[in-house]
Chains A and B, each alone.
Chain A
Amino acid sequence: MGLFYTFHFYLFGVIAIISAVAFVTRRSPVAAALWLVNTMFCLAALYVMMDAQFIGAIQVLVYAGAIMVVFLFVVMLLNLGHASDVTDIVGGKTKLAAGLVGLLLLAEVFVLWKDDGAPAPVPAQQELEPGVIDQVAAPLFREYLLAFEITSVLLLAAIVGAVVLAKRRVT
């Protein structure tokens, strides 16, 4: 794949993992949210390196620019501040569940490590065509038409849910 690709793959990969670890371990919710933004950003860079430029841009636009803003809002809304009294793992059952999920993740990593079969198909080093959007738009609006239309129903449900939740507290 070339040194350029490999170097940046590891660069962004390592930053993403470090940020993700920092996200889990920070006590301050706001700092944690910012680390997650950093992870999203690195993921976007990795998408771009896989020639999924549109997805990369959307990753930044929607995840880093929209969803994380709401995370920050909620952190502030609940007045968590930089307090450290936030603990999510309480009680024996929750700890057990967390441990099981952790084991599952470890198993996953182990399988990925051992499974050294056919390497994943890597994108060919091709010259880019100007219409990067067409690569996404063509399947999305033709083959996966039904899924696309159903997305709007999902979004509608989200709208209704947001209004119902927020309005209940107001009145």
Chain B
Amino acid sequence: MSRTYLPVLLLMGFVVFNAILMIGLSHLTMRSRPTPVKQSAYESGIPALGEARERFSVKFYMVAMLFIIFDIETVFLIPWGAYFRNLSCAVPLTNGLCPSGQVSMFGLVEMLVFMAILIVGLVYVWKKGALQWD
């Protein structure tokens, strides 16, 4: 274990260092000449109207919620996909393959039940028009 993730740690440090370096370097080399107009929010050249932090459509929130739910479904599907060969075999695999005649429907049926319940959810969301962006 100890060294498997060491490269990731090293790379993370290296990349963070580079990001800070680039932002810092450009901060040091620039000539700052601020003017009130330059510092104002850009709205196609006309003076900015009102606040930018308006409340926005609930649809974005909706998408984010649905994203979590289907992301979790994906998270369940990934190990299932990787382990499918073992699940669809009635006996332990030999050399990574199922001995002939030992095929089992267990893995597929198991996931079909899981998916069916979630597809009911998808259909519900669809019918409710939450996926319709108008």
Residues of B near A118 (CB, < 8 A) are none
Interface pair B53/A155, CB less than 8 Å apart: no
Residue in B1, B115, B128 whose Cβ sees the most chain A Cβ within 10 Å: B1
Interface residues of A in 119-136 (CB under 8 A from B): 123, 125-126, 128, 131, 133-134, 136
Instruction: List chain A residues, Cβ under 8 A from B61.
Output: 70, 73-74, 77, 166
**Cα–Cα, bound, A160→B110 (Å):** 23
- Across the two chains, which residue of chain B brings its CB closest to A80? B53
Contact A140 B79 (CB under 8 A): yes
Shortest beta-carbon distance from A80 to chain B in Å: 9
Q: For the complex, give the distance between the alpha carbons of A138 and B87 in Å.
A: 8
Q: How far is the CB of B56 from chain A (nearest CB, A)?
A: 7
State the CA gap A101–B53 with chains docked (Å). 35
Contact A156 B120 (CB under 8 A): yes
User: In the complex, which of the residues B58, B65, B73, B122 contacts A70, with contact meaning CB atoms closer than 8 Å?
Assistant: B65
Given A61-B75, A70-B65, A79-B55 in contact, is the A133-B2 Cβ separation under 8 Å?
no
Answer whether residue B10 sits at the interface, using C-beta atoms and an 8 A cutoff: no
Are A163 and B56 in contact, CB atoms less than 8 angstroms apart? no
Interface centre among A48, A156, A159, A170 (most CB of B within 10 A): A159
Pick the contact of B55 from A77, A140, A152 — CB < 8 Å? A77
**A residues whose Cβ falls under 8 Å from a Cβ of B:** 2, 4-5, 8, 48-49, 51, 54, 58, 61-62, 65-67, 69-70, 73-74, 76-79, 81, 123, 125-126, 128, 131, 133-134, 136-138, 140-142, 145, 148-149, 151-153, 155-156, 158-160, 162-163, 166-167, 169-170
5 pairs of A and B residues whose beta carbons are closest in the complex = A137-B83, A159-B121, A162-B65, A152-B117, A137-B79
